[in-house]
Amino acid sequence: MSRAIAIDGPAASGKSSVAKVLCQKLNLVMVNSGSMYRAVAWKLLQLGIDLDDTDSIIAALPNLNLQCGVDESGYFSTVGYDGVILTDELRTEQVNNSVSRVASIPEIRDILLVKQRDYLKSSDVVMEGRDIGTVIFPDTPYKFFFQASEKIRQARREAEGISDSVAARDKLDSSRKTAPLKPAEDAINIDTGLYDLNGVVECVLSHLQSLGWE
Ligand code: DC
């Protein structure tokens, strides 16, 4: 049976950077679940749908056909439509400002939950997001919750040249009714502001070893 490592945490807490290293060290697929929400937000914006109009969003969902896969390296999840993989389009200010709104809609979460769990059918995964340990893979023993101060996280985004109000997104993501951002009860909490990237990777690897990951 395939195994899942769940990494949850607020925006810019270091989830993606760490998962990118882990997937290659442990030879598994890294799934960026936030990209799926971003791809849905991008498409709805392209279609000109008012993101405050939940009925119109729900009506559009059956025709969205989000395609989730794995890239040529075999390590990284991809998202796209009609055979075209989306990358930079997902990180625009417009998508940053809309994605939490889209992610609060239960009908969208239901669709993406199935796609996220499907990855486990073909491979071990490290999946990062907001509800991976609480909702997507609640039974996995390998759960992590990353934290870092708001100041550090905002500075990380600014250093990347990305305009992203992380505090506003975290507030929306933590306060929504369905699958809010929160640590699973049995998650290992890591303050990523205390280490550099390598330090966080080493910390996760040592916990995995203690939990029996081979
Ligand atoms: O990880 P990210 O910043 O790219 O995620 C973008 C948004 O998607 C985030 O603000 C909340 C939402 N999201 C979510 O609700 N659940 C997940 N598992 C992953 C992301």
Residue-wise pLDDT for 125-179, tens only, equals 999 999 999 999 999 999 999 999 999 999 988 888 877 788 898 999 999 999 9
User: What is d(CA 131, CA 145) in angstroms, rounded to the nearest whole number?
Assistant: 10
- Whether the CB-CB separation of 80 and 125 falls below 8 Å is answered with no
User: Please, which residues bridge with residue 5 across strands?
Assistant: 126, 142
**pLDDT tens profile 90-118:** 999 999 999 999 999 999 999 999 999 99
Q: How many residues are given for the chain?
A: 214
Distance CA 209, CA 87 (A): 33
Asked whether the CA dihedral 147, 122, 115, 70 is positive or negative, the reply is positive
Is the CB of 137 within 6 Å of ligand 1? no
Cα-to-centroid distance, 25 and ligand 1 (Å):
24
Three-class DSSP category at 115 = helix
CB neighbours (10 Å) of residue 143?
25
Strands 67-70 and 77-81: antiparallel
What's the confidence (pLDDT) of residue 166? 87
Ligand 1 mutation target, pool 165, 173, 176, most atoms within 8 A of CB = 173
What's the average model confidence in pLDDT over 168-195? 95
Residue nearest to atom 13 of ligand 1 (CA): 34
Q: Is the CB of 133 under 6 A from ligand 1?
A: no
Please state whether beta strands 188-191 and 142-147 pair in parallel, antiparallel, or not at all (unpaired).
parallel
Place of tokens 């009609």: 82
Give the CATH number of the domain where residue 190 resides: 3.40.50.300
- C-alpha span between 44 and 98 (Å, rounded): 10
When divided into structural domains, the chain yields a total of 1
List the one residue out of 69, 8, 65, 71 whose CA is nearest residue 40: 65
Q: How far is the CA of 130 from the centre of ligand 1 (A)?
A: 6
Domain of 201 in residue numbering reads as 4-210
- Dump pLDDT digits (tens) for 52-78: 999 999 999 999 999 999 999 999 999
